[in-house]
Structure 1
Amino acid sequence: MNGVGRASAFDGLDLQRAPADGPVAFGGSLDAGELLAAYGHGLFPLPAADVYASAYNEARYGEVDGVALLSGVSDPYALAWWSPDPRPVLRPDGVRLPSRLARRLRNGAQWWTTADRAFGEVLAACVAGRQPVWLTEELASALVELNARGAAHSVEVWEGDELVGGVFGVAVGPVLSLDSMFHRRSDAARVAVADLGARFGAAGGRLLDAQWDGPHVRSLGAAPMGRSRYLAELVSTVRAGPLPTGRLPVARLV
């Protein structure tokens, strides 16, 4: 089972043989249903920014053992699917806030949060000024549709009426995979992740997936989880309910 109840191009994918630190498949579709199925199989997309990036993908990974080539498109190397092993993950209540930030929040930082109130704005802010452009128009369109279906979520951090930080990701069963975040004020992205964790935990979720390992996600509290265990979490019978979306104070996070 892929956790989303539909047949997909990913059903026959053998991740036992797939690379741990490179793409596991190329090709397929960014149709919203296929995108959700991919997350249900433990994959996330990385579209090529241009034809040069696609050519690089083919030259670098075209002969790598265990990489699947999905049919149905003229240039499969324009769309890579990743499933790192291990994967950095956090428990919803385990997002780490530095003591200096915790003091600011306790002392009445003028921030508040919402969820799924400005999904498109968060997507736009996450892609603004970043190179290469991985969040293509096609991927953004699919994510907006998943948000409308209740499968993709954003958290927004506000200072008055100004959007100062945010994060978005895709939820399957008890797992929410964090795709990207942004900040216009120091630490606002970190607050967004902590808030999303709190809301997802309240909805019954039990795992946040940070996708790419590194110092920043480790500073948030992420720890590595092997691919096989991560996939087992995805097919758990536990299912998160609807995410609370209302306006909430950030001080509750400390």
Structure 2
Amino acid sequence: MIRLPQLDVDSLDFPPLESACRQPDGLLAFGGDLRPDRLLAAYARGIFPWYSAGQPILWWSPDPRMVLATNKPHVPRRLQRWLKTCTWSIHADDAFAEVVRACAQPRHRGDGTWITAEMFSAYCHLHELGHAHSLEVRDRGELVGGIYGVAIGRMFFGESMFSRRDHASKLALLALCRGLATVGFPLLDAQVSSNHLRSLGGHELPRNAFCAQVADLAQRPPWRGNWAGHFNAIKPLDLIPVRNDGASDSPASG
């Protein structure tokens, strides 16, 4: 039987991360609420909420943690060739609620969703306050993919992404990395490992190393620029890596 500490709704304190469960990995506490100051306090400590309808709010801090270095995601060669022909456009904060709703859709028949109505409202509130952002991929105006997450200081915490067309979520993630890297966000939190993330350069950090970086980056001055204008300028061709000799890395196979 797992005995978890319950959060006090009147306090923003969390248990020590070292007390998190090994199985299930990273389960730390339950209860509390999803008000903005609690969510921001959690992320700044390397903690995030993740639970299903009918459960209490569950708080997690997995060890290790999946991350991407924003300045060097991996772009597979076949994806590079596709990017050369891609006519889709990239936007930011254009349809935050729609992106979250799309991420909440079950991936497979019979699956549930962890983005409950309470979670949806909480992140939309964070977006209204300027802490949460979305990135959208559109094909002639139609929303075909996207990603959303939370920015604190110069740290970005990815929450979820979706794809309605092949490669759409890959394009969203790569564009997010590029846009973040150019304004001083070196690390993107991807929470838990997956083959999809690994294929794009995701790697694992021990929790203590991850939290040390978060503690530094979250305390840095936030970027005050125009998220929409900055990301809207990114084109699919911009996401093809450039070799040291200045040429695009576009070999014949991959």
TM-score (norm 2): 0.81
Once the two structures are superposed, residues 98-131 of structure 1 have per-residue CA deviations (whole angstroms, 9 ceiling, x without a partner) of: 211211212x311110111111110011112343
| TM-aligned CA deviation for residue 31 of structure 1 | 1.3
Q: Is the 8 A contact 1:40 1:234 kept in 2?
A: yes
Distance 1:48 1:125 in 2: 16
Distance 1:48 1:164 in 2: 25
| TM-aligned CA deviation for residue 219 of structure 1 | 1.1
Does residue 119 in structure 1 map to residue 99 in structure 2?
Answer: no
- Mark the CA change 1:17 to 1:113 in structure 2 (over 3 Å): closer, same or farther: same
Paired letter, 1:82: W
- Mark the CA change 1:23 to 1:206 in structure 2 (over 3 Å): closer, same or farther: same
RMSD of Structure 2 on Structure 1 (CA): 1.8
Report the count of equivalent residues.
Answer: 221
Q: Is the 8 A contact 2:93 2:227 kept in 1?
A: no
Match of 2:87 among 110, 119, 133: 110
- Secondary structure of the structure 2 residue equivalent to 1:47: coil
Match of 1:74 in 2: none
Distance 1:8 1:179 in 2: 26
Match of 2:48 in 1: 44
- Secondary structure of the structure 2 residue equivalent to 1:204: coil
Q: What stretches of structure 1 of length at least 5 have no aligned partner?
A: 1-6, 55-77
Paired letter, 1:238: R
Which aligned pairs between 1:61-76 and structure 2 lie closer than 5 A? none
- Mark the CA change 1:232 to 1:31 in structure 2 (over 3 Å): closer, same or farther: same
Match of 1:31 among 21, 35, 47: 35
Once the two structures are superposed, residues 181-231 of structure 1 have per-residue CA deviations (whole angstroms, 9 ceiling, x without a partner) of: 111110110110111111112221111011011222111211111111111
Match of 2:62 in 1: 84
Query: How much identity, in percent, do the aligned residues show?
Result: 39
When structure 1 is superposed on structure 2, of 148-157 and 13-22 the one drifting more is 13-22
Paired letter, 2:47: L
Q: What stretches of structure 2 of length at least 5 have no aligned partner?
A: 1-8, 241-254
Paired letter, 1:244: W
Does residue 245 in structure 1 map to residue 231 in structure 2?
Answer: no
TM-score (norm 1): 0.81
- Secondary structure of the structure 1 residue equivalent to 2:191: coil
Which aligned pairs between 1:93-104 and structure 2 lie closer than 5 A? 93-104=71-82
Match of 2:161 in 1: 181
Distance 1:175 1:8 in 2: 26
- Mark the CA change 1:205 to 1:197 in structure 2 (over 3 Å): closer, same or farther: same
Paired letter, 1:206: P
Distance 1:165 1:12 in 2: 34
Match of 2:18 in 1: 16
- Mark the CA change 1:8 to 1:197 in structure 2 (over 3 Å): closer, same or farther: farther
